[in-house]
Chain A
Amino acid sequence: MTVQPIVQGRGIVKRYGHVTAIDHSDFDLYPGEILAVIGDNGAGKSSIVKSICGAVHPDEGEIKIEGKPVHFNSPLDARDMGIEIVYQQLALSPALSIADNMFAGRELLKPGVMGKVFRQLDKKAMEDFARQKLSDLGLMTVQSINQAVETLSGGQRQGVAVARAAAFAKKFIIMDEPTAALGVKESRRVLELIQEVRSRGIPIVLISHNMPHVFEVADRIHIHRLGKRHAVIDPAKFSMSDAVAIMTGASEAPPIEDQQLTPKVA
């Protein structure tokens, strides 16, 4: 049986002058899974992820989305295909409201003349949609959808960013260190949120340094080392220290048959 991967990258290369950030790396994301990407600093994990969403333009190699080769010029192209990214710095405009942030760059216009000719925003529709999406994810603890994002706590902001991604993602979501800046309780909420999103059928690429969080939510772990996909493991079969050892080169990558290059068959 073969499940078609959502994303399939083969032999991806990216060089910056003499530095090879991505060195003939592969990458696979399958439907419905949370794929964690871990790697030491400078291993190129963020480069490989950026290359599948258009933020980095690979020099060589091939990227297929649902079997079709793609060439993204910018993350906007990827976004148009339904690929959403939750950036570590969240990419929220502090002074704008939650609703405005959710619809940043894809605002809804009023129907009829007011929208078509006068380009008037349909604020009510956007607010309703934002409120709906936040409640779906159990995030309606904020007082008002018109609150400025800067008045929210770190966890709430993360929630808005995740809700935005979940609301518009058709293919998959990339999350870059979603818990790095959060406290214990807020991290917990975000991890629950990630699982909530996955349960809606949207696959997630999770970049994180936090091993407990990775092991808790990931279905498979892509270990990146020296610009390459070094191994892909099943968190149920390896310990955190194994993963760290593989990631840092302290131990060899496990033999291919012990790896988890495709999802576990349920």
Chain B
Amino acid sequence: MKTLLSVRNLKKSYGDIKALKGISFDVYEKEVLCFLGPNGAGKSTTINILSSILTKDEGEITYEGQSFEKNLSTYKASLGIVPQDLAIYEEISALNNVKFYASLYGLKGEALEAAALNALDNVGLLSVKHRKPKTFSGGMKRRLNIACGVAHQPKVIIFDEPTVGIDPQSRHYILNYIKALKDQGVTVIYTSHYMEEVEDISTRILIIDHGEILTEGTKEDLKKMLGDTDKFTIDIEANGSVNTQPFYRIDGVKGVEVSDNRLMFDVVRGVDCLDKIIAEMIDQHIKLSNLNKEKATLERVFLHLTGHALRG
């Protein structure tokens, strides 16, 4: 795989707050690299530095082997940005919005018109091209926001949480569009909070928290981090008298956790011990109200790495 973007020891602070503590990663050609991280993890700071609107404190970024600062115009010309906030003019038509932004990349005349129409078609807004965005739904505005960022047909597109606050249909449309971009050989950098989106579209995932990269790899690689255990969650009516020791004697049980009327068991995958767990619960007169087997999901990996504590 050819490395398109290379980031080394990237640091950024806001006063005393260290937003990025020296992160390094590569972006390969034609991949969809997803950034996952809780609020304040450093995702947006990274994206803003890659978008060249935020200056880094330290570190090196190269694009196609060249320092991106020394070749800023070339770099910017090959980059498409879909910002988190809607960045469109509400009072001019969707077509004029797209044409305006595409014109800043040197497109003119018929080429400009064709590129704008193509971008609107790709996001499903061709039929409303003459309507002003102020008459659009939230999902339509989000799609126009995308069209404005991609009309100039960049080699790399950065999507910063493009599906925030939109209806499932628009989200579905956007995710399919990103998959289509990948198929066309466009490199995509994507940030999101939504695990299912990342599972759906990513070729590689990078989990970031507190300004550091916790791990990176394919979704399969990351799921392997959870080890060879399955997780059972059993809702119970009261937890005052739960004795966890007998559960550990059951063959296959690796861990037991009790919290808020809930019992959680880590069980060796492939060992059938659920009936024994339930039998022990009956012996302890624990009333079961619900049982759930959690699969090895990206969300579990994410929570395993970043913790369950709420973020401000």
Answer yes or no: do A and B interact.
no
Interface residues in chain A, defined as those with a beta carbon under 8 Å from any beta carbon in chain B: none
Interface residues in chain B, defined as those with a beta carbon under 8 Å from any beta carbon in chain A: none
